[in-house]
Amino acid sequence: MASFHRLNGCYEALEGGNTAEALVDFTGGVSEPLSLDRKLLVGRADKRKVLFQTLARAHSRQALITCSIRPAEGEAVESVLSCGLVCGHAYGITAVRKVRLGERLQSHCGTTWVNVVRMRNPWGTSDWTGAWSQGSEQWQLAGRVELERMGIIVRDVGEFWMEFDDFCRFFTDVVVCRVAERRLLWPRSHWREVRCHGEWKLGPADTPGATEAVGEASRPGPPLCPRGDKKEQQLGETQGDRMAEGGKESNSVSVRSERSVMSEDGSGRHTDRRSRCGGCINHRDTFLNNPQFLFEVRGHGDEVLICLQQEDRRIWRSAGGGENLPIGFEVLKVEANRSSRVQCVGEQAASSVYMDSRSVALRVTLAPARYVLLPTTFHPGSTGRFLLRLFSHSRIQLRQLENELPCSSLYRCWGVQACMVTTVHLQRASGLSEAKHTGVHERPQCQCTHDFG
C-alpha cells in the first residue's frame, strides 16, 4: 500500500475513488460497470435470465465481480437494511450457480431449479438474513448432506448465499473486471488483449488564442464538467441527435491538402487540423482531428470489449487539480481497403457514453468488417495521454493511422495516381431485363467513358 500511495503522490490522493478503478489498478484488467434497473429486473424474468447468464459466463472466465447497493434518497452510506445488507459496501460475488433442488426443497419452493449466487462481505459485520442464508428454512429443510451435494457451501467468514431474484431486488450496481490471459496457450473462450498508447495534443500551427484556451483545460484545475455520481454525461446532444447529424453529412467526401491546415472548431477559434484533440462527434468540424486506430474483425464476427483509459491525474491533487477529463469514443465502419485516416464521418458501428472517469468501456458484438476507432475528449482542445485497450476472443490487430492520404503506389511510374474521389448513389433504374436470381448480390457496374489519362 505504501508503494501505491507513492505512485499517486500522497495518501490524500487515494481518498474516495471507486471499486472499478481499484480493480483496474490492482489487476491490470478492464472494469465494466453495470447499472441495474431493479424495477425492470423484478418484473421481467427474461431480463433476469440475461443478467444471470452474463454474470455466470464472466465468473467462469475468471472475472472478478463486485456489487453494491446505492443508498436511496434519505438513506445514509453504511446504513443496514432490514435484510442485513449494508448500503454502500462493495460485496464480492464468489460463485454463480444454477442448482437442482432435492424433493423436500422442490415441494417447499415449488420449482426444480433455482439460480443462486454466493456473496462475500469483506467487512464481515452483517450478513444476508433472507432465503438461502444460514439458518433459513431452505438450509434447515435441505440438511448438510443435501447442501454439499448442490455445492451450497460457505468457505469463509462473511460469505453467504442468496437467490438471484433477491439479488436483483436489492443490488443496484455491478462491476465486472475482466483479466486477459497472457499465457502461450489458453482457451478460446478467454479474452485476448491488444493495446495502443496515444495522446490528445495540439497541432504545430495552433493560434495563440487557441493555445491559451487549451492550456487552461490541460493544466490541473477545476473539472471541465460537474462531477456527480459518474453516470452518463450527455453534456450536449443525445446519441440519437448524433446519429441524425451523421446521416446528414455521410454523403460528402473531402480530401484535405497539407496547405489547408486551419479550421474553425465551432466556437469561432481557429485550430490546426494536424492537432489530435478535436473533441466529441458533436463538434463536426474538428471531430476527425482526433487520433484514429484501425482494426478488423474477421470470420463470422466477434464480441469485443473496448476500454479507453486516461492518464491518472490524482498525483496533481496536491496542487489543487487532478480532475478527470470527460472521455469517450466512437467506432466507424470503413471501407475494406482503408489504410489512411478517415476524412468524413461514415457509418457509426458503436458509440460509448462520455464520463469524467478514469476509464470508459463498451462491450459490443461487431460484424466482420474493417473499423476505425476514435478516442476523444468531450471538449475540443483538451490534451492528455491515454491508453486504448481492445479485448476479443479472436486475434485482432490494432494500429494507429498516421497518414492523411493513401500512400503512393510502387508502380506510380507506369500508372496515373488518384487525385479525386467520386461517390455515386444509385437511386433507381429502368429498362433492365428480369434477373435470374434476386438478392443483395446484384451489383451495378459503372464505366467511365472519358479518358482522363
What distance in Å separates the CA atoms of residue 386 and residue 193, rounded to the nearest whole number? 16
Catalytic residue at 89?
A: yes
What's the chain's Rg over C-alpha atoms? Answer: 27
Burial (CB count <10 Å: 0-12, 13-18, 19+), residue 236: middle
Catalytic residue selected from 8, 59, 115, 121? 121
Query: For residue 296, which of 233, 347, 371 has the smallest C-alpha distance?
Result: 371
What distance in Å separates the CA atoms of residue 165 and residue 49, rounded to the nearest whole number? 10
Assess contact for 290 and 375: CB atoms under 8 A: yes
Question: Rounded to the nearest 5°, which phi and psi values hold at 385?
Answer: -100, 155
3-state secondary structure 225-245: CCCCCCCCCCCCCCHHHHHHH
Catalytic residue selected from 89, 115, 283, 290? 89
Catalytic residue at 300?
A: no
Query: For residue 35, which of 328, 355, 376, 322 has the smallest C-alpha distance?
Result: 355
Q: CA angle at residue 218 from 217 to 224, to 5 degrees?
A: 35
**What residues are annotated to the active site?**
89, 121
